[in-house]
Amino acid sequence: MSISKIGIVGCGLMGQGIAQVCAGYGFSTFVTDVNEEILDKGIKRIFAYIDKGIDKGKATVEERRAVEKNLRGVISLNELKGCGLIIEAAPEVLQIKTEIFRALNNKVPPECIFASNTSSLKIRELAEISGRKNNFIGLHFFNPVPVMNLVEAVKMEEMPQKIFDDILTFIKALGKTPIVCQDSTGFVVNRLLTPYLLDAVQAFEAGLASVNDIDTAVKLGLGYPMGPLALIDYVGVETVCHIAEIMFKEFKLEQYRPPALLKKMKDKGWLGKKSGMGFYVYQASGMMGNDEGLKEILNTENREQKTENKE
């Protein structure tokens, strides 16, 4: 394989997972972020995740040693210039990704392949910004990366088939299964997943059932491993809301319009598991449905609408 040294830009939740998997499967992996404090926290979370897996029998000491051996945190993008593949795993904001790719284009050789882990932005737009359309690909990993086996691969027409084949070989070397999809907003999974998640929010808004009962219905009635409202909390309320906004803007279909409750939760800082509050309340003793808090948001929304109508 021509790809042996991997660069990861962004050591947040997704970047951590991608870096862990790459290093764990023997690739020399360099991960970076905006400053040393954020980078150090991200790397510590990687090893905390592995240690937790070891305690539960889902990871091994050998896997930890492999990550220790192959993973290195760096601050300067200049230290990525020897990488054959650089994967951007920054927040889902076009301006942030634009700045990253423009900076990278001036620092690494033209033969280096750029990849974006975006879940909703157009790959062609990012490729054109990067200045290397023939060496740019979309690689959408899924959270948690060490567990989820799927990677959506989006190929630009300008990319030689040989390079694309090398990328697919690399993905398989990580123990993942790649699928090839068109450069369409949301690709395959989010195109199908987003309306399902938003429907669950609307079901709660309509008073159909409690948070826990909606999730239980999906798990036991449909056989899904996780309920939709718990999944929103896990992914992040603001992330789901942002993806929905992008898809609604692109397709102009009601099925992608973010529900009012989701927007209010985002504005209130109820972002899900990461903030300790979302559709569920997260405590040391466990998680419980946040029905009363959510109903209060809905009641406030209704009161505001009535006031606006009177005016």
Q: What is the pLDDT of residues 168-208, one digit of tens each?
A: 999 999 999 999 999 999 999 999 999 999 999 999 999 99
Tell me, yes or no, whether 14 and 161 share the same domain: yes
Out of 88, 152, 242, 290, which one is annotated catalytic? 152
Whether this model's pTM surpasses 0.85: yes
152/256 same-domain check: no
Is 35 an active-site residue?
no
Selecting among 70, 190, 212, 290, the annotated active-site residue is 190
Which of 161, 180, 199 is where one domain is finished? 180
The model's pLDDT over 227-253, given as tens digits with 9 standing for 90+, comes to 999 999 999 999 999 999 999 999 999
Strand order across the 71-74 sheet? 71-74, 28-32, 5-9, 85-88, 113-116, 136-141, 150-155, 177-180
Is 152 marked active-site? yes
The answer on 142 and 119 residing in a single domain is yes
Query: Is a pLDDT exceeding 80 seen at residue 301?
Result: no
The parent domain of residue 231 ranges over: 189-303
| Same domain flag for 250 and 198 | yes
Tens of pLDDT, residues 18-51:
999 999 999 999 999 999 999 999 999 999 999 9
Q: What is the CATH number of the domain that holds 94?
A: 3.40.50.720
Q: Counting Cβ atoms within 10 Å, is residue 161 exposed (0-12), middle (13-18) or buried (19+)?
A: exposed
Last residue of a domain, one of 158, 180, 202: 180
* Residue among 70, 116, 117, 119 flagged as catalytic: 119
Identify whether residues 32 and 95 lie together within a single domain: yes
Domain count, the chain: 2
